[in-house]
Structure 1
Amino acid sequence: MSDFPEGAPCWVDAMFTDVEAAKEFYADVLGWTFGEASSEHGNYTQAYSGGKAVAAVVPPMPGGEGSSQWCLYFASPDAAATAEKIRSAGGELLMEPMKVGTFGTMAIAKEPSGAVFGVWQPGEHKGFEKLGEAGAYAWAEVFSRDPQKADDFLTEVFPYEAQQMEAGEEGEDAEAAGMEFKVFSVGGKGNPVLGRMKMGDEFPPQIPSYVQVYFGVPDCDEAVEKTRARGGTVHFGPMDTPFGRFAAVTDPQGAAFAVIDMSTTAGEMPTFV
């Protein structure tokens, strides 16, 4: 796959204290297979769907143990320049741009409302070899407690065009309905790459802003059953939407993500302005 445009999600990975248990969980729930661990890069292990690279898992660095979470990386032609934009827009660099062998250059940052994300300047590793299909990355949303801060930051750092979800069918305001939602596009408004959802009172106060990654599955209900059977937790859904049937879950080690069956849709697509 060719290079991703600037600001497009291009890769996802997660740290797990028990990598073998994570591999067993995601092999069952998402159908992934795994390559050999790269000992020279902290035992970084790529996950594959149908032989195509879709994600990676890695044990925590010494002294870096903490809760597991998926990290979404946005493509950048120049990670150092993007890092400067992050700083000037009020974000925080958690990891300065670092070259990863011949694979590319990475950075980890936090946007002003608290969501953590990655930046990836590709070298030999371009990113997802498959996406938008079962077993692969499908979509992502920034869940933010301060959406204006997040919106201003994202459009300053990346070349995004933002669109707000329009009022509901009966004239109900989307925000009043608890759906204050935007999408961000690259290369024109017809190419959305990221959503942003306002976090309401339904989210416990201890949960910070975060990025929700969606993985495609052939059957949402089956993926939910497997998640429960493997010791994971289902937080929301399954629910039918115009985009697919999805559910928000957490794996047994605490990494949150969503599963979505994009072939099962219901209702009319919302309008964005």
Structure 2
Amino acid sequence: MKQTEVTIGAPSWAEIATSDPAAAKAFYGELFGWRAETDPRPEAGGYTVMHLGEAPAAGLSPLYGPEQRTAWSVSFAVRDADATAAEVVAAGGRVLMEPMEVLDIGRFAVVADPSGAVFALWQARTFAGAGVFNDPGALGWAELLTRDPERAVAFYPEVFGWSVNEGESYTQWGLAGEDFGGLLAMGDQFPPDLPPHWLPYFAVADVDVTASRAAGLGGEVLMPATTVPAGPRIAVLRDPQGAAFGVYLAGTVD
């Protein structure tokens, strides 16, 4: 899906909660060219919006509790966070954080699908989400990694109305016939203690160069640059604090 603006039901925002916000700002600034703007208000809790040019590209926050781990998360745009949270429960998921107001910018909830994969619901008020998609340095794809793909392909269409494009080895999610994300079944190649999760992918001008640069900045290459059959060139990386994310060649995801 060549998303150019926030679309209801599709990924609208990716944010990282990290144990070292200053180090994360430096790492992603070097890797993606992001510019950090931290909200100075005490009630914002140190939340930072990372910009690509003048457009908001992703969020960054400190860890807010001892149980929280350094990780990326994905938010999906909804018209009514309360109603969608109720639909999550009706479909077999859970509400982890009840819908709440976030300053004057939107209404937010944290939920989990039946397998435990966590994601967020975002009902925009003054802040819609990402202001750029698919350009180098911007969010462009979201992938669910799960050990229960059958239940996932029932749950998400019920909640969001997504279409399901099932291939031989990969399933893609879509809206109005255009795909914006995928599903990867977690097999033996994944550590048994790694929970199901959503993984954001960011577009880059050169996957190989980005993977090498991430390693040089203290990160790790979890999956080397690979060209997917009939698909884009991708890599999966991990930042120095342990948060995983994907990159793909800009212009190759439609």
Q: TM-score, normalised by structure 1?
A: 0.86
Residue identity matched to 1:208: P
Tell me how far 1:263 sits from its aligned partner.
4.5
Name the structure where strand makes up a greater proportion of residues: 2
1:41-52 equivalence runs, <5 A: 41-52=44-55
Which range is displaced more, 244-253 or 119-128? 244-253
Q: Which residue of 1 aligns with 2:163?
A: 161
Larger radius of gyration: 1
How many Å separate the matches in 2 of 1:131 and 1:51? 13
2:13 is equivalent to residue 26 of structure 1: no
1:71-150 equivalence runs, <5 A: 71-150=73-152
How many Å separate the matches in 2 of 1:264 and 1:77? 30
2:241 is equivalent to residue 253 of structure 1: yes
Q: 1:184 aligns with which of 165, 173, 176?
A: 173
How many Å separate the matches in 2 of 1:262 and 1:101? 34
- Contact 2:143/2:182, CA 8 A, preserved across alignment: yes
Which range is displaced more, 32-41 or 142-151? 32-41
How many Å separate the matches in 1 of 2:12 and 2:148? 25
Q: 2:215 aligns with which of 207, 228, 237?
A: 228
Residue identity matched to 2:84: T
Residue 202 of structure 2 aligns to a residue whose secondary structure is strand
Q: TM-score, normalised by structure 2?
A: 0.93
How many matched pairs?
A: 250
* Cα deviation 1:210-231 (Å, max 9, x = unaligned): 1111011111112111211122
Q: Which runs of 5+ in 2 are unaligned?
A: none
Gap change, CA 1:27 and 1:82, over 3 Å in 2 = same
1:64-75 equivalence runs, <5 A: 64=66, 66-75=68-77
Does 1 or 2 have the higher relative contact order (CA < 8 Å, sep 6+)? 2
